[in-house]
Amino acid sequence: MPLPDKPPPRLPGQVIAAHGRHYRVELADGEQLACFPRGKKSLVACGDRVSVLRTGADQGVIEAVDPRRSLLYRSDLHREKLIAANVTQMVIVLAAVPAFYEELLVRCLVAVEHQRIRALIVLNKFDLLEQSERALGMLEPYRALGYPVLPLTAKRDVAPLRPLLRGHTSVLVGQSGMGKSTIINALLPEAAAAVGDISIALDSGRHTTTHAQLYRLDADSALIDSPGLQAFGLRHVPVRELDHAFVEFRPLLGQCRFNDCLHRGEPGCAIAEACARGAIEAQRLRIYRSLVEEGQRASAW
């Protein structure tokens, strides 16, 4: 009686590109397969470690996703958008032109703190002196909080960024037009990432990156480029955990008069009192309160 055929082995690999339900997986030997996930719903992100079943010469099916070290994603009332998995650092790319949204920066930092990974703020296009000085002044409170801020002119010299990427799997995030693709091209000329023009009239950039892509910088370092974003929903972060994501709030947590204080104007709020005496930036507290309100609306939906 003939023995039954053995099922083909599952192959370990890493997702290096994610576009909808289409993925490119790099196997341990460097071979790449075009892959689809099982089922209708896709919960796979660029950077995921996966097990793949080969279905053709250069095709496969993602059978399983390994446990993640971290998962960055955006969420609102209607959808979740995976950004990257297993990253150890988020590189938030800002520029003086087009103007960046401070609230978007804060939302990125909340996501970083919630996932317990490192943040690096890059202020690109630093050759635009007048605008750069103003932008650097806006970032001084974040530097004071301990977030590293790197002034950079990527089109001239990206060397100051290289040592800060070493040993990390970093994800580049930022509004369109901030220069993410220019940074990728400078670090990895072979990547040939498209560089978008900036619309001065609209004070915004044109989207050029349409999917997440992982690039290997060396054996121990990788960089994931992600599409430009204009919003960063945080519905997945519980309202009760938002205050811990603001690093300057942490020494004061537990000191409010009421244990369930949300720091929205309740009497005896230690956070509000610290803001009143200038120990906490009013803009940061305002953004925190807007996130709490947004989270409460989402919970009541």
Q: Which fold has domain 71-225?
A: Rossmann fold (3.40.50)
53 touches 10 (CB < 8 A): yes
The H helix count followed by the E strand count for the chain is 6, 15
- Average pLDDT on 258-286 reads 96
Q: Find the range with the poorest average confidence among 27-41, 102-116, 164-178.
A: 27-41
Using one digit for the tens of pLDDT, what is the confidence trace for 165-207? 999 999 999 988 888 989 999 999 876 544 443 333 334 444 4
* 10-65 against 239-300: fold identical: no
Query: Residue 123: what pLDDT?
Result: 95
Q: Which fold has domain 239-300?
A: Ribonucleotide Reductase Protein R1; domain 1 (1.10.40)
Query: Residue 20: what pLDDT?
Result: 82
How would CATH label the architecture of 10-65?
Beta Barrel (2.40)
Percentage with pLDDT > 90 across the chain: 69
Residue 286 has pLDDT above 90, yes or no: yes
- Average pLDDT on 234-253 reads 96
Query: Residue 91: what pLDDT?
Result: 98
Query: Residue 263: what pLDDT?
Result: 97
163 touches 169 (CB < 8 A): no
Query: Residue 300: what pLDDT?
Result: 65
Please tell me the pTM assigned to this model.
0.89
Which of 277 and 177 is assigned the larger pLDDT?
277
User: What is the spatial distance between Cα 209 and Cα 104, in angstroms, rounded to a whole number?
Assistant: 19
Give the orientation angle of helix 129-144 with respect to helix 102-115, to 10 degrees. 40
Residue 160 has pLDDT above 60, yes or no: yes
User: What is the spatial distance between Cα 188 and Cα 183, in angstroms, rounded to a whole number?
Assistant: 8
Percentage with pLDDT > 70 across the chain: 90
- In which band, very low, low, confident or very high, does the pLDDT at 130 lie, cut at 50, 70 and 90? confident
Residue 282 has pLDDT above 60, yes or no: yes
Give how far Cα 96 sits from Cα of 133, 164, 176, 178, 284, Å. 8, 21, 13, 8, 20
Structural domain boundaries in the chain:
10-65, 71-225, 239-300
Average pLDDT, the chain: 88
Please give the single-letter amino acid code of residue 119.
Answer: A
Query: Residue 195: what pLDDT?
Result: 42
- Average pLDDT on 95-102 reads 85
DSSP states of 102-160? HHHHHHHHHHHHHHT-EEEEEEE-TTSHHHHHHHHHHHHHHHHTT--EEE-BTTTB-GG
Give how far Cα 160 sits from Cα of 150, 153, 168, 230, Å. 8, 10, 15, 27
